[in-house]
Copies of this chain bind each other. A is one copy, B any other.
Amino acid sequence: MGAAEQGGEGGEGEPWGEVSPDAARRLLVAAVDAFAERGYHATTTRDIASRAGMSPAALYIHYRTKEELLHRISGVGHEKALSVLSAAADGEGTAGTRLAEAVRSFVRWHAAHHTTARVVQYELDALGPEHRAEIMALRRRTDAVVRGVIEEGVRSGEFDVADAAGTTLAVLSLCIDVARWFNVAGRRTPDEVGELYAGLVLRMVGATAAP
């Protein structure tokens, strides 16, 4: 089942908008679809070029290897998700308000870009050591954003959390796993899942006041 069948991830808010030139962007979109459908190891650069309507030689102008495509997908995916999360966490209001908004944003991102997020999460082991280390650094930054808001709420007495690191892990895991089960044909919209999860996360941190 490719991204197209799952409802597509192109159009508004698609994460590849900044990738240029157009051919490089089309190849990323084609690679996400191919990796999602058949897995990284079963996909060839020839498959990807063909999906993008290009020759293998045209692909090599933009990406030297299949791993370079995965690295680019993973990098852009992690950066975009981190950026929506940070914007929410750095917003106005109490720690509760900002944690709730961070969860809403992160959930919406993983629901809307579930095909990309699945590839990014499931194919992490296929990255080379340096690229993997780079992605791990982005993940630590993502973790630090959520942990920062949680610790702020604990200091201000707004939250009651015994294990900030463990709670951060659980909050991020809950949001990321939306990419696994989310179905565009399902009962809940990305906004509805975000709202549900924001409420559940405020309970997880023992928030005293409703934001």
Contact = CB atoms under 8 A, between A and B. Distances in A.
A170 interface: yes
A1 interface: yes
Contacts of A181: 169, 173
In the complex, the count of this chain's copies comes to 2
Interface string A164-176: 0011011001101
Nearest to A181: B173
Interface of A, secondary structure class, is helix
Given A42-B42, A122-B122, A180-B121, A196 B170 contact: yes
A40 B167 CA distance: 33
Interface in A107-165: 118, 121-122, 125, 162-163
A204 interface: yes
Contacts of A42: 38-39, 41-42
Contact of A174 (B163, B170, B199, B206): B170
Interface in A59-101: none
A197 interface: yes
Query: Which of A166, A178, A188 neighbours the largest number of chain B CB atoms within 10 Å of its CB?
Result: A166
A74 to B, nearest CB: 15
A41 B178 CA distance: 24
A45 to B, nearest CB: 14
9 contacts: A1-B125, A38-B39, A39-B40, A41-B41, A166-B188, A170-B200, A203-B203, A203-B204, A204-B204
Interface of A: 1, 38-42, 118, 121-122, 125, 162-163, 166-167, 169-170, 173-174, 176-178, 180-181, 188, 196-197, 199-200, 203-204, 206
